[in-house]
Amino acid sequence: MEFLLKNATLPDGRSNMDIACKGGLIVAVERGIDAEAKTVIDAAGQLVAPPFVDPHFHMDATLSLGNPRLNSSGTLLEGIALWGELKPVQTVDEIISRALRYCDLAVAMGIGAIRSHVDICDDELKGVEALLEVRRQVAPYLDLQLVAFPQDGVFRAPTAKQNLNRALDMGVDVVGGIPHFERSMADGAASVRYLCELAAARGLMVDMHCDESDDPMSRHVETLAQETTRLGLEGRVAGSHLTSMHSMDNYYVSKLIPLMAEAGLHAIPNPLINIMLQGRHDSYPKRRGQTRVPELRAAGINIGFGSDCMMDPWYSLGKADMLDVAHMGLHVGQLSSRDDMRWCFEAVTENSARIMGLEGYGLARGCKADMVLLQAADPIEAIRLRPARLAVIRGGKVIASAAPQVSKLALKGRPAVVNPADYAP
Ligand code: FE2
């Protein structure tokens, strides 16, 4: 064997499990594997999971915080305007350098796959050129999937249609959109139809920023579901954000959610950004702006939580921690039962892998030998603690590691060390 993990707890609760890997694949997941291996790690009962998957990110904008200035209102629209100021002055090399630096952190935090939108509303397609190069460079340690994203509106920006097709010709993987940002509701609906037809003709997946507003009448997700069904794209289309659903009329939603389920749409809320950017026109009470996660889940719709941003025009914080994302999604959605909390872990792992169509993902025999060992007893503890990634494994090799988190105490009559993981129920 090349790699053997001993005494691990799996996300499904099985304990004392060993995982043996060879040729970049998992060859056995059993108790008491007795084999020699080049690298052996004793998990000592801690949780091993398949890698975190971020189904929604903007890698062309990441780590640009403060450049050329900060977002003073904190709103989505000022963020878009600020990004519009940065786009013409940034270089391909700058985008590559920031993106690679982000990927270093993402890998250390146990992320194994990222779907990143890339803005195509720049006639030079600098972001596309940069992220295609980044995708090539990180391929040995990170799966990067790119979405052609018309940030300024595929109909609203004069050259966006042409640029979007050029980006897809260059090798961008997925068709994006932003219907709520087009000039009118009618244009928004037409953009959904245009983009879904384009994806169907090219055999590609679709992932749209859809209804990222508090406007209950922003109903482009309905058109997205309808077009998905009409074009036979079931299972290949995702609606990102869907924040207007938070504010919609309940009767309307009772019709909408079954349509979304019928279309096999995936939903991608971005809890950190949604709670930060939505409800900005409200006084009190302020809406939360996260889409209806429990109700979508109950309808059988696959949901993955995305991080969306880190230190960019829209969001100043973040550390590539998908457990921060799950933690926020859990709180905002009041997903507090044991089952709900375990599901939040799935929303940043297997559900998001399904959205991206990742092959060989999981901790079963025959899957890729990719996994992350956490300093936590189980998925709920992982969300509670957002702990150290003790080891990140890719293709059966350790590509990142961290020391366990422990604090020393200097209190008379109290323990010498304290570790939040020791407080597990
Ligand atoms: Fe986004």
Q: Find out whether 100 and 133 touch, Cβ atoms under 8 Å.
A: no
Q: How far apart are CA 209 and CA 241, in angstroms?
A: 6
The CA 178 to ligand 1 mean position distance, Å, reads: 10
Which residues form the domain of 9?
3-50+362-408
- State the CATH number of the domain containing residue 143: 3.20.20.140
Looking at the domain assignment, is residue 219 inside a domain?
yes
The CA 65 to ligand 1 mean position distance, Å, reads: 16
Task: Please indicate, yes or no, whether residues 235 and 330 belong to a single structural domain of this protein.
Answer: yes
Looking at the domain assignment, is residue 289 inside a domain?
yes
The CA 56 to ligand 1 mean position distance, Å, reads: 6
Task: Please indicate, yes or no, whether residues 171 and 268 belong to a single structural domain of this protein.
Answer: yes
Looking at the domain assignment, is residue 378 inside a domain?
yes
Beta strand extents in 66-189 (DSSP E only): 111-119, 143-149, 174-177
* Of residues 339, 372, 378, 380, the one with CA closest to residue 13: 378
H helical segments located in 171-248: 185-202, 220-230, 244-247
Looking at the domain assignment, is residue 415 inside a domain?
no
Task: Please indicate, yes or no, whether residues 352 and 375 belong to a single structural domain of this protein.
Answer: no
Task: Note the pLDDT tens digit of each residue in 128-147.
Answer: 999 999 999 999 999 999 99
Looking at the domain assignment, is residue 272 inside a domain?
yes
The active-site residue out of 182, 212, 346, 381 is 212
Task: Please indicate, yes or no, whether residues 288 and 316 belong to a single structural domain of this protein.
Answer: yes
The CA 375 to ligand 1 mean position distance, Å, reads: 30
Task: Please indicate, yes or no, whether residues 293 and 392 belong to a single structural domain of this protein.
Answer: no
Task: Please indicate, yes or no, whether residues 155 and 189 belong to a single structural domain of this protein.
Answer: yes
Residue 402 confidence (pLDDT): 98
- Specify the 3-state DSSP secondary structure of 272: helix
Task: Please indicate, yes or no, whether residues 109 and 211 belong to a single structural domain of this protein.
Answer: yes
Residue 1 confidence (pLDDT): 87
Task: Please indicate, yes or no, whether residues 26 and 76 belong to a single structural domain of this protein.
Answer: no
Residue 269 confidence (pLDDT): 98
* Of residues 83, 86, 152, 80, the one with CA closest to residue 120: 152
Write down which residue in 339, 356, 373 finishes a domain: 356
Q: How far apart are CA 381 and CA 212, in angstroms?
A: 31
Looking at the domain assignment, is residue 413 inside a domain?
no
Active site residue 212: yes
Those residues of the chain that have pLDDT short of 50 are none
- State the CATH number of the domain containing residue 382: 2.30.40.10
Q: In total, how many domains does the chain have? A: 2
